Structure 1
Amino acid sequence: MTLDVTDVHHGYNGDPVFEEVSLSVSPGEVVAIIGPSGVGKSTLLRLLALFERPDRGRIEYDGTDVWAAPERRRLACRRRIGMVFQTANLFDASIRRNVEYGLRVRRSWLERLKWHLERLTGEAPGTGETLEALDVVGLADSATQNAASLSGGEAQRVAFARALAYDPDVLLLDEPTSDLDPRNTAVIEDAVLEARDREIGVVVATHDMNQAERVADRVAVLLGDGIIEVGETATIFEAPRDERTRKFIDGELIY
């Protein structure tokens, strides 16, 4: 699924967060959104996830303007989008059950009924997808462990596996390694590259410049009231077109 954002404006209570934002993400591509805290990176991800409707502009999935389409079509698009938030929100249940949840909620009511009937008969629907996703983040051997016992970094890895298990077309990551130790950060970054190899389009909002350089194919710079520049990762960091981009990367712009 190709994601296209065109001339999107959004704000709260009459105060604009950003204006004229345009961005595209293709299958098998990682796009990093960089910018200072408070500039609207998380808000943009919420719009991409279809949690909120933009004030103006178009958000298209495979050429469909989702906010102009029937609600059923919009729901179908939303079910093909995964999102990992900055802080993992897990249930007091096993790691496996937490990951399975992502599979269940994206099925139709009829599919969910079949899921529960299979479980009652002793079968374990979704086991293959669940364990495969946990293997990507190095937790397949801990599937029966209670999620409440996990460290913050391990919990974030479970949250990533939950989003990956249902094989989304687009995966949105909001500061996914904020405050994580180097080992857990490396696992998440490797998982991002694995998602890309599966032809998933990935959008990562991050304040970590080094992370953007490591995982992104392209980088979008969100400054002021919009995206001021989008380009190949090496170009953005080594030879940006906009002087504001260079100053931000070099730490000369203070927010």
Structure 2
Amino acid sequence: MIRLSNVTHAYGEETIVDDLSLPVEQGEVLAIIGPSGVGKTTLLRILALFTRPTEGTVELDGTPVWDVDEEERLALRRRIGMVFQDASLFDATVARNVEYGLRVRQPWSDRVRDALGSVVAPNGTPEAVKRSLDVVGLTEKTEQSARSLSGGEAQRVSFARALAYDPAYLLLDEPTSDLDPRNTSVIEEAVLEARDRGIGVVVATHDMHQAERIADRVGVLLGDGFTEIGPAEKVFDDPDDERTRKFVSGELVY
């Protein structure tokens, strides 16, 4: 579990995240919904251990991540994958882009290291790369230049790269905001497959319909923090908080 406890983060005089507490379990999809500017990306960066919060505690499987030395924190960070809104691919083949994650991150357990390092597909591509590209439906483009892909295909490669080293947690920041329905559907299916493999997935999204489709739990983040965190069906159909009801129904506009 990743657990945030009373986390606050400020940039200068501006508080972006204020006194948030949140558990993230493996084997679930947690969607964070809310308007622009409420701190969804900052929250993801804190979960990814990229950003140290101004106040509060971040724990990964019971370890307070900012109380350990940099080497141990790096080992913890390697258990977490993140996919940003804009895919950033190298001028190389699709396979080489996906394989990059395996080269720079040591897999986070001996079991995964053995699975990724010792199995190679017949064409020389690591089996983990092949499996990840298969999840996003791009095995036929393995040797194609990544720069020749469409925007949707590039985002699918970015997802496959994060999936290849079998992270314990996968964080997605608006992963389908600029994609067509076909590419959106592929990534949503890949998210559900990752969950079924036991990966904890956190998706920050403006798309409430997407949250309804794929999330097990939903956190509604408004200007004053989470108004509600709970099962997706309850949050959308029978929320406890009136602000949540107004936001998910479209009555509360930011």
> Unaligned stretches of 5+ in structure 2?
108-116
Cα distance, 1:226 vs structure 2: 1.3
Name the counterpart of 2:14: 15
Residue 56 in structure 1 maps to residue 55 in structure 2? yes
SS in 2 for 1:67: helix
- Quick one: distance in 2 between partners of 1:152 and 1:197? 26
Name the counterpart of 2:96: 97
Identity of aligned residues (%): 65
Name the counterpart of 1:115: none
Alpha-carbon contact 2:128-2:164 (below 8 Å) kept: yes
Name the counterpart of 1:27: 26
One-letter code aligned to 1:167 = D
- Quick one: distance in 2 between partners of 1:214 and 1:15? 34
Residue 132 in structure 1 maps to residue 131 in structure 2? yes
Q: Which of structure 1's runs of 4+ aligned residues deviate more than 2 A?
A: 123-126
Deviations 1:155-199 (A, max 9, x none): 000000000000000000000001100000000000000100110
TM norm structure 2: 0.92
Deviations 1:22-62 (A, max 9, x none): 11111110000000011110110011111110001111100
Cα distance, 1:70 vs structure 2: 1.7
Name the counterpart of 1:111: none
Name the counterpart of 2:203: 204
Residue 228 in structure 1 maps to residue 227 in structure 2? yes
Cα distance, 1:124 vs structure 2: 8.1
Cα distance, 1:224 vs structure 2: 1.1
Deviations 1:82-103 (A, max 9, x none): 0000000000100000000011
> Unaligned stretches of 5+ in structure 1?
109-117
TM norm structure 1: 0.92
Name the counterpart of 1:219: 218
RMSD after superposition: 1.5
Alpha-carbon contact 1:103-1:126 (below 8 Å) kept: no
